[in-house]
Amino acid sequence: MSSIIDEVDYGPLAQLLGKWVGNKGLDNAPDASANPDRTPFTDEIVFTPSGPAENAEEQDLVSVRYHHIVRKLENGRIFHDQIGHWIYEKSTNTVMHSLSIPRAVCLLAGGEYKEDSGLSIFDVEAQAGSPVYGIVQSQFMLEKATTKAFKMRLTVKGNELKYREVTSLHIYGKDFEHSDESTLTRVIYDQD
């Protein structure tokens, strides 16, 4: 354990720190045809400590920063790249997830941290148009491939991390539930 981790109480976020890899991902993405694209993928996620933050001298937050790289299982090509922070407020048990993807879509999702039978559960949601946990996107995306809502459950137990996220889109003239899920294993602990 590093000195940085020792100094700051990251609460449940401490369990995320390190490098995680997996080859069990499944992407369900929209396609102009009637059939969605289902693509198996590999994951690489690195979580690093990003320190405490005090807001308006009354809110105490801690956070970890991550970079998530997704490659097609069949050829190793990167087809999704995501960065963001997971943020935790101990006094309210609130968990927040900010993310940015290079399609010109960013969001802040929020929810509650839970534990169940040794499993740590991070549940967050965001809705387009909400002033609190909302979504921002480019003019093009708003018009042609709107992200209307986002919902994610990430769970951790020891060195196993799972996630499932559903991005509610409106694209090609119809609603589409774009979903991604995977299971990863921690290969390096502590990335400060």
Contact 166, 150 (CB under 8 A): yes
Nearer to ligand HEM, 8 or 69 (CB): 69
Site map (CB under 6 A) of ligand HEM, residues 54-83, x = contact: ----------------x--------xx---
Does residue 156 belong to the site contacting ligand HEM (CB under 6 A)?
Answer: no
How far apart, in whole angstroms, are the C-alpha atoms of residue 78 and residue 71? 4
**Helix (H) and strand (E) counts for the chain?**
2, 11
How far apart, in whole angstroms, are the C-alpha atoms of residue 66 and residue 43? 13
Nearer to ligand HEM, 62 or 124 (CB): 124
Q: How many residues bind ligand HEM (CB under 6 A)?
A: 21
Contact 105, 137 (CB under 8 A): yes
Does residue 186 belong to the site contacting ligand HEM (CB under 6 A)?
Answer: no
Tokens 């459950």 -> residue: 153
Position among 65, 90, 103, 114 found at the interface with ligand HEM (CB under 6 A): 103
Determine which helix (DSSP H) or strand (DSSP E) holds 108, and give its type and residue range. Answer: strand 105-116
Sites of contact with ligand HEM (CB under 6 A): 27, 29-30, 41, 70, 79-80, 101, 103, 105, 107, 141, 145, 147, 150, 165, 167, 169, 171, 178, 180
